[in-house]
Amino acid sequence: MPLFYQHNINQDTKLGIWFIEEPESFFLEKVPLKKDVSHPFKRRQHLAGRYLLSYLFPDFPIEEIRIADTRQPFLASQKYHFSISHCGNYAAAVVSTNSRVGVDLELITPRIERVAHKFLHEEEEHFFNEDYALFLEQWGLRGRVFQEFLTLVWSAKEAIFKWYGRGELDFKSHMKLEGSVNLDGDWIKLPFVFDKGRAVHLGIEGRIFEEQSLALAWVLT
């Protein structure tokens, strides 16, 4: 089934994940290709992301999408706020009639440990390398669970980057996980502080899809 997952966040905001198995022609029936995406696989990802927008809200005017100088896609009419992510054979989108949104989907791999120093705030680095690693080691869970949580934090920061939309963000200093992480069913609630001159508290929601090795994070305000 092409729609892999849907979550209606509230009555104005929907999140979806599409499993991309259709040929390009399927998406092109509904989605005008305006951007020059030369790689066929990336083109299918791009088209699937836009297709999903209209799947979630059938009156979404895909043809009116414009691209800002920062590369953020947007609707000048602001009829909908939206955010898109793609990863492997999956495309994710969050669409809202009234809230600013950001979404990101990442594949969980061991590589995340090697690049963590590029995106972790020094306090987060301390937490991951000292407190959390030691805690997990006690239970013999250091590898996989550690990578899942690290990927979720990376994904949360990418979602914040897209929610902000204006680019020029330093992942290490402008956003930080601060406070306790809580579980709500399958959802993981991650309190972040985004600070680029004025601190804003953001409640990021994340989720791990174990079987697909995916980490999903979204934010709305």
Ligand X SMILES: CC(C)(COP(=O)(O)OP(=O)(O)OC[C@H]1O[C@@H](n2cnc3c(N)ncnc32)[C@H](O)[C@@H]1OP(=O)(O)O)[C@@H](O)C(=O)NCCC(=O)NCCS
Does 149 bind ligand X (CB under 6 A)? Our answer is: no
Does 124 bind ligand X (CB under 6 A)? Our answer is: no
Using the contact rule CB under 6 A, the part of the chain among 133-141, 158-166, 184-192, 203-211 near ligand X is 158-166
Using the contact rule CB under 6 A, the part of the chain among 8-16, 130-138, 144-152, 165-173 near ligand X is 165-173
Which is closer to ligand X, CB of 42 or CB of 134? 42
> Residues touching ligand X: how many (CB under 6 A)?
19
Does 46 bind ligand X (CB under 6 A)? Our answer is: yes
Cα–Cα distance, 125 to 154 (Å, whole number): 12
In contact, 126 and 107? CB cutoff 8 Å:
no
Cα–Cα distance, 216 to 6 (Å, whole number): 12
Which is closer to ligand X, CB of 39 or CB of 118? 118
CA distances from 28 to 16, 22, 47, 62 (A): 19, 11, 7, 12
Does 171 bind ligand X (CB under 6 A)? Our answer is: yes
Q: Where are the alpha helices (DSSP H) in the chain?
A: 24-28, 40-56, 112-119, 122-126, 133-138, 142-164
Binding site for ligand X (CB under 6 A): 46, 49, 70-73, 83-86, 104, 118-119, 158, 161-162, 165, 167, 171
